[in-house]
Structure 1
Amino acid sequence: MVEVIQASRLSLHEIKQKFGLQQIQDSQFFPEWQGLSSDLTAYEQHWLDQAKADFLSLAEYPLHEEIVKIAVLAPVLSIAGLCRAPFVPAAEKQVEIAFEDEDEVIRGRVDLLVLYRNLWVATIETKPKQADVLTALPQALLYMMASPTNSLPLFGLLTNGNHFLFVKLLKQETPSYGLSELFTLLRQENDLYRVVGILKHLRELVLSEDWQGQQVG
């Protein structure tokens, strides 16, 4: 009999063991988030400032993850250009991975996917404000491993509203992942500028024919 395991119950250690995943801490592994200028218009900065102010005004209350999506994630994705064609957001997409040798199926739902030509541009996993953003990492890695894309890097974004963390995954003989630095709304400057700048850069990479032609080495 096949055992069905819920993705939310698996620890990071268990995910790494099941897929042979290794974390790469060399900064050269994940250059896509580094050294970017936000290059935002005054209009875009205004709406990101408003999103930050809205979220921080709610910070003294327990927030459900759906409120996180409405207050912060929606304006971030819209300004980054990931809510319009050719990109297609998909919410609560069910994912299953079967381990036939172990008679196991891991099942879960991705909070939000941004899709382009069957490429998972970003796997976005949200958690309530009071949760550590790293609690979303095991599920995000699992969902990224379930992607049909094998020859290109995959990217994820983890957020609890306060904090934002990017993930890069290479699916190869030894799957590897790396993390960005942590971005936070608790700084005096607005880190949403940098978050949007990175998402815009990833968007341009995906639209680039040169990048689409690269093979994971």
Structure 2
Amino acid sequence: MVRFIQAQNIGLAYFEERFSLRLAEDEVFFTEWFESLPEITDLEKQGLDRIKVHFLRLIKRPPLSEETVKLVVLSPLLNLSGFYDEPFYMRGEQSIEISAEDEGEIIRGRIDILVIQEQLWLLVIESKRSSFSLLEAIPQALVYMLANPNQDKPTFGLVTNGSDFIFLKLTKENQPKYAISDQFTLLKRESELYQVLSVLKKLSQVLS
């Protein structure tokens, strides 16, 4: 009998056991989030500063839903980084399923936004769960990334709750491996949104 598991109810230990997924220990595996990043223009910085102001204004009256985070934070970031332009396309919330061989288990979940021909996955956590660590959402993001049918190219992910951001990279050749970036936040006096946009622009270059 097949057992169905919701993506949000599983942890990294499950993936390591069922899918032989391993954390890449070599820093060279995921250099896209810190190496040779594009410069951010003064105009882009102004746009990012407005995103921060709008977000800080909205969180004064919680809760802040996933849809509001997408509208106020994520959508402007994707626009500035070029993901609304050719050759990229956007798809809305998607259902996915993955299964481990001979395990009789199928994992089900939904992705919030899927970009670039299934090579960049974006997972938004409701901001009302501000105490919810982004690290706890990484297993759910990996579910969607593992479901990517393209085996020979790396898959990238971004997990955010509107104020904090973590990037992911996954490869599936031979043994599946993943790595995570540092955590960025717009809540610091010196907002790290500039770095977030720079990483997104780098990924747009890599994936185009």
TM-score (norm 2): 0.91
Q: Residue 44 of structure 1 aligns with which residue?
A: 44
State the AA in 2 paired with 1:189: E
TM-score for both structures, normalised by structure 1: 0.88
Q: CA separation in 2, counterparts of 1:83 and 1:93?
A: 18
Are the aligned partners of 1:36 and 1:197 in contact in 2 as well (CA < 8 Å)? no
Q: 1:36 to 1:187 in 2, by over 3 A?
A: farther
Give deviations 1:110-154, integer Å, cap 9, x for gaps: 1111023xxx23111111221221222011111111101111111
Say yes or no: does 1:27 pair with 2:12: no
Secondary structure of the equivalent of 1:84? coil
Q: What letter is aligned with 1:85? A: E
Question: Deviating runs (4+, > 3 A) in structure 1?
Answer: 35-38
Q: Distance in 1 between matches of 2:46 and 2:36?
A: 20
| Cross-structure match for 2:3 | 3
Aligned residue identity for 1:124: L
Q: Which runs of 5+ in 1 are unaligned?
A: 208-217
The unaligned stretches of length 5 or more in structure 2 are none
Deviations 1:141-192 (A, max 9, x none): 1111110111111110111111100001111222111111111112222211
CA 1:33–1:89 in structure 2 vs 1: closer, same or farther (change >3 Å)?
same
Q: Using the alignment, how far apart are the partners of 1:96 and 1:7 within structure 2?
A: 9
Q: CA RMSD for the aligned pairs? A: 1.6
Deviations 1:4-42 (A, max 9, x none): 221111122212222111112332221111134452222
Percent identity of paired positions between Structure 1 and Structure 2: 41
Structure 1 residue 43: Cα displacement: 2.2
Paired residue type of 1:52: K
Q: CA deviation at 1:79?
A: 0.4
Q: Mark the CA change 1:86 to 1:80 in structure 2 (over 3 Å): closer, same or farther.
A: same
SS in structure 1 at match of 2:59: coil
